[in-house]
Structures are given as structure tokens and as C-alpha cells.
Structure 1
């Protein structure tokens, strides 16, 4: 076992683990290459190297694309993880440091790519959740209240945009079922905030409520407005 000055331990089991990971991972590529000798050119060069280095597939986005998605889509949890960078740097052999690496390195890597899709960074979401909860659990009550208020404000701001959308786009259809879920979700969020539920648990329950409400609302939103969103119905009709 090797231990550096910062307390990071490196043992033979790490080497064995990396070796097994590479063997299992590469076995899939080898199998496909044996089945089709064009696989390397098609998958590795065209759909990996070309996607990263060029805009061949017309999916170019600015460098900050993924950062903006995480800041908005995982608010305030991504902020929580960002604010803990000093602790992660000073204590590299901690779960926080591991989750920080889990999230930041892939996001930075794909931010450098010329071709960007949201699904590229989906594997960082579990790491973000674990790291954010680690930070959240170590905040003081006053800090937790501040973050809880910020989260509620952000959720209500997003929900309030639906009130404005019909005035911005007159073709938009939002039926009664959509507004029923909207009212239920908004009511639950406010009720949770003022409830007697333990402070540590409230933001997590609130985030779950908001996500589930938004998921159900999006079902009605997309089904009622197929011509205004990316969907398969128009392709099938064509």
C-alpha cells in the first residue's frame, strides 16, 4: 500500500480493480469488433472522436451548456457541491472528494466536446446527489434554512412561468388536468415548507414533490402540444 502526504491510499487492490474493469469493459468492444470489422471505424472514430472534435452531427453548444443545465436543473444541490470544493481539495480521501471527482471531471470533459447532448452527463447525477447530501448533512440549521428558502423560491419561480406561457404563446394548450396537478404541486411545496417535518428532510421531500409534479405536468404538456415540441408524432405522420 502506498500513502502520499495528503493521506490518499493506493493499494494493489486498486490495480486489480482497474484491471478487471478494463477487461470487462473492453470485452464488449472486442466481441463487436469480431462480429463486424467496421465497428471500430463506425463507433470509435465516427461516433466518438468525430463527435468530440467536430460538429459533424450539428449538436454544437457553448462551453457553459452543461454547467447551466446542472445549475438550473439541480438547484440548489449543484451549488452545494460547488461550494465544498475547498473541503474536497483538502481532504481527497473522503466520500465528498470522490463524488466531486465523479461529477466535475465528466462535466468538464464533455464541456470541451464540440457535440453536446444532455444524456452525456446523466451518469453524474447520482454522484451529484450523494455529494450534495454529504454537504447538506454538515450544514448548520441556519444554513439549511437559507438553502431551503432558495430551493422553494426557485421551484415557485419555475412553476409561475406556466402562468405566463399562455400569454406569450397563444397556440399553447394547457388543459384542466395540467392546472390541477400544478395547483396540487404548488400547494404541497408550500405546505411542506411550513410543516413540522424535520428541517434536514424537508428540502429532499420538497425536491421529490416538485420533480414528480413536473413529471406529471410534462405528460399533459407534451401530449397537448405535440407540434410545439420535439416528438415522434410529426415524424410518424410524415
Structure 2
């Protein structure tokens, strides 16, 4: 029985969407990135200002607004909660899988390549991670893939509508994360033309499409720069040049940082190449499209390795190209190598299932076990075993089904572990729930003080006024150059400023003031009056909550 077909892919996507949506609200917002995007979007919804993103009342222009706009749409549909903040992330991932399938069909004229590439893409851990954590990366990747798809459709059909769609999608990628998206798009387009030996023939549609792209991509930036000319230098130097050449936001990494990261994310394919490299390479059939995908991936990898600032998710928009390469070769490798892949996928699936249980035994203070977790582990083992036995003679089918078991089990395990161990994502939701419980009679003076840390999820979960007490931590040092009034002082206190410190005494004396302090960053001795102002405290794994 061969199930490697479009119907199976559609059924898999339906199951996946159900699991993604079901699990997207079962764990709290992670600090700092996810909580920051969620809170900026909440403040945008409350203020009605969709052009000037704010974080805790201070303008925050680190990223263009597309992610915030999409998240606000989620809030309007489902309310201000985890599900609303992450809903469109799940839709974005499903769109990416569909686009991989369509790109596979376009590049290789083979639905089977499209199906295998789509399932391969889904099985990449980095793709599942992007669906669990609200950042720009999932949306950026979707727009990049859409632009490449529309460009290929225009390349093959000549229909100008696809060309305009290409420019619109490319503009959307820039309004999501800036011009960095062009690295992925241009790398593929140029190398695809080079290897297919096709030159560029400009038409009026190209000119009009490009002008439309410029207008859509630059509109938000130009509007803000016309309001405040300092933003031109901020966008070009601080947010672009410094991220490339300096240790921006303490994210500087060595050149080789991405090498072990990508090798780990390419499991189990890397193991097949390492241990069976000669036999596997003999089976490879490198077509022109493979060369374009491979060299574009290498070029992107080298460029991002040269950048000083590095994060895991920066390379997410590269993995659709790798998925297509792998999917194409999966249709050609021998039965023996398919068996090796099946065993490796099965082994990784069982490892994913067993690691949380082992950690709960070895490090019970780090991760808590439960009956739900143990039952889920047994279900994963049983399901993987049933697939291995029932489809023992249908290797391609068994490989595809083991992929699905791996994907669904990984999502389910991650959801259960994060739900029962919120400290693993540095979440403060349990503390905020306690504050909501203590703060029954609310008034305008109710305040949460956060010592030397930018805690974006505090107002998200409590809806209380949140004041950051800045001392020397990089997250609590806010950029105030674009503030046009003194209102920012309502949410930020500089502990090195005596006048600001003087304002704290009456706040701490208020019975409806709460203070959060990270355990690994105790209050400096010179400000010990802060915690002494509170009569009670509760210890959490990563934080201490003070209250009266």
C-alpha cells in the first residue's frame, strides 16, 4: 500500500492543524522574545495606533509592524490570550508545508517529490519550534516561500499576475523583518537563473511590479522617518549595520556557531550521509534545480555565518530549500537506505518520548513528571511500534508514517512538558496568577515593580501598571530617543537617578504594590530598602514575589 500521495498529505495537514491549534494555548508565553511580541501587539490593540509599536509605554521600533498586525488580528478573533497570539503562527506553518509541496511539484514536475519534501520539512525541529513561539520568523519564512513560489510560477507560465504577487509577497517579507529577507529570495532567484542559463528580460510588468514593491515595502519606514528624521539612522545603522557587524543585543556568536546547529537540525539525514556516505552519494541524482537549491542554501549559510549577530531561528527561511533537496533524493535512494532512515526516525521518536521521563527521575526539581506525561510516552511507543509492524513491507509508507508519529509526538510531548513546567520557558504566569488572586480590590494605584529586567508578560497577564526598575541589566535599558513627552517615566525608574529612587518609597508602602525579583539577580545592597518594604514573599523557581 502506497500512501505517498496528495490525499495523504492533505489528511496529514488536517491532523497537524488540529494538533497545532489544540496545543497552542496550553503553555504560557515565554520570556523574553515571545512575551515581547505578544505585549506589543496587545498595546497596539488597546491604543489603536498601528504605526507606532510600543512596549510598556515606550516606542519600540526594533522590527517592522507586520507580526504585530497579524497578532492583533488574532486577538480580535479570539481575545487577548495565548491562543489569540499564536493562532496565525499555526496557519503560517501549514501554509509553509503547502508551499513546499507546490514548489516540489513545480521544480521537479513530480507530486511524490512534493509530498516527501513537505513531510521532510514538517519533521525539521526548527519548523515545529517556530510554531510554538511568537516571533517574526514563521511569518517571514511564509512570505519568503510565497514570493519564491510566485516567481517560479511566473517563470514557468509567463502570467504577469504571478509576477505582481511575487513583488507583493516580497514587500510583505520586508514589512515583517526588514531587508534581510532579500538575501534568501535573491540568492535563489539569481542561482536558479544561472543554473538554468536563463537571462533576465525586463518588461513593463517588471517595472510596475518593482515600483509597487518599493511603495509597499518602504511605506511604513518612510512615514516614520518623515515624522522623526532620527529614525533613518536608527533603521540603517542600529537595526541593520550593527546587527551585521557588532554584538548587537548580546547576540554575538563565533563564525562556526551555525555549523553544529544546522547539523543537529538536519537529523536524521546527516547520520545517513555520515555512516553510509559512499552508498548514498552514488544514488544521488543532482539536477539543475538541485544545484540552485544547494548553492542558494550554502550562500545563505555563509552570509549569515559572517554576520556577527546570530540566533537559531535566523536560518529558518533556508530549510524549505533543504527539504526540497532531501525530498527529491528520497525518491531515488535504495530500500536499504530507506530502512536505515526508518530506524533512525524511530530511534529519535523514542528518544524524544523518553528524555522527559528520564530527566524527571534524574532532575526532579528541573522537570516534573505526571500521569499524563507517562501515559503519553506509552502511547507514542505503542503507536510507533504498530506502524513499524503493520507496514513492515511497505518501506516508503512506513517512513512517511514514522515521520508523522515523530511530528505529532514531539508536539504533544513539548506541550505537556511546557504546560506542567512553565519555568522552562522562563514564564511568570504562575506569579501573575498569584498577584491576580491577591489583588481583589483593584484601583489605579495597583502596580507591579520588576527589578532590573524587562518583563513584557507582566501587564499581559495582570493588566496592571508595570514599572521596570533599571539598574544595569541590558534588557531593562530602554531606548528613549523617540519619546516626545515624559509619560515614559510612568513605566521606567532609573535606580542610578536619585530623584527616580525617591519616587519608589511611597509606591512600596502601598498595599497594592508587588515586586518581582529574579533569583539569579538579587537586589543590590544599596537598594535593600526595596525588599524590606514588603512584609511577605513567595519563592518561585526563577523569581521571588514580594507583597504586603
Using structure 1 for the length normalisation, give the TM-score: 0.78
Query: Aligned to 1:190, which of 385, 394, 403?
Result: 385
Say if 2:343 is the partner of 1:149. Answer: yes
Quote the residue 1:36 is aligned against.
224
Matches within 5 A, 1:60-71: 60-71=252-263
Change (3 A) 1:183 1:47: farther
Matches within 5 A, 1:218-237: 218-231=414-427, 233=429, 235=455, 236-237=457-458
Query: Aligned to 1:180, which of 363, 367, 375?
Result: 375
2:294–2:321 Cα contact (<8 Å) kept: yes
> What SS does structure 1 have at the residue aligned with 2:308?
coil
Deviation at 1:201, TM superposition (A): 2.9
Change (3 A) 1:86 1:67: farther
Q: Give the distance between the partners of 2:326 and 2:244, measured in 1 at CA.
A: 29
Quote the residue 1:94 is aligned against.
288
Quote the residue 2:323 is aligned against.
129
> What SS does structure 2 have at the residue aligned with 1:57?
helix
1:110–1:116 Cα contact (<8 Å) kept: yes
Deviation at 1:58, TM superposition (A): 0.8
Quote the residue 1:105 is aligned against.
299
2:283–2:332 Cα contact (<8 Å) kept: no
User: Which digits, 9 at most, give the CA deviation of each residue in 1:45-99, with x for residues without a partner?
Assistant: 21222112111211133434333333223312356689688999x95x6222222
Quote the residue 2:412 is aligned against.
216
2:247–2:309 Cα contact (<8 Å) kept: yes
Say if 2:357 is the partner of 1:163. Answer: yes
Deviation at 1:22, TM superposition (A): 5.6
Structure 2: runs of 5 or more not aligned: 1-193, 432-454, 459-515, 517-548
Say if 2:269 is the partner of 1:77. Answer: yes
2:357–2:369 Cα contact (<8 Å) kept: no
Number of matched pairs: 230
Deviation at 1:205, TM superposition (A): 2.2
Quote the residue 1:140 is aligned against.
334
Q: Give the distance between the partners of 2:223 and 2:260, measured in 1 at CA.
A: 41
2:283–2:334 Cα contact (<8 Å) kept: no
Deviation at 1:232, TM superposition (A): 5.5
Query: Aligned to 2:245, which of 53, 59, 81?
Result: 53
Tell me how large the CA RMSD over aligned residues is: 3.4
184-193 or 17-26, larger mean C-alpha shift: 17-26
Quote the residue 2:200 is aligned against.
12
User: Which digits, 9 at most, give the CA deviation of each residue in 1:152-200, with x for residues without a partner?
Assistant: 2233233332232013322121222222222222222232223326312
1:178–1:220 Cα contact (<8 Å) kept: yes
2:252–2:308 Cα contact (<8 Å) kept: yes
Using structure 2 for the length normalisation, give the TM-score: 0.37
- Over alpha carbons, which structure has the higher Rg? 2
Q: Give the distance between the partners of 2:297 and 2:315, measured in 1 at CA.
A: 9
Q: Which has the higher strand share?
A: 2
Matches within 5 A, 1:108-119: 108-119=302-313
Q: Give the distance between the partners of 1:140 and 1:30, measured in 2 at CA.
A: 50
User: Which digits, 9 at most, give the CA deviation of each residue in 1:74-128, with x for residues without a partner?
Assistant: 312356689688999x95x622222213433222222222221222111122222
Deviation at 1:231, TM superposition (A): 3.1
Change (3 A) 1:189 1:195: same
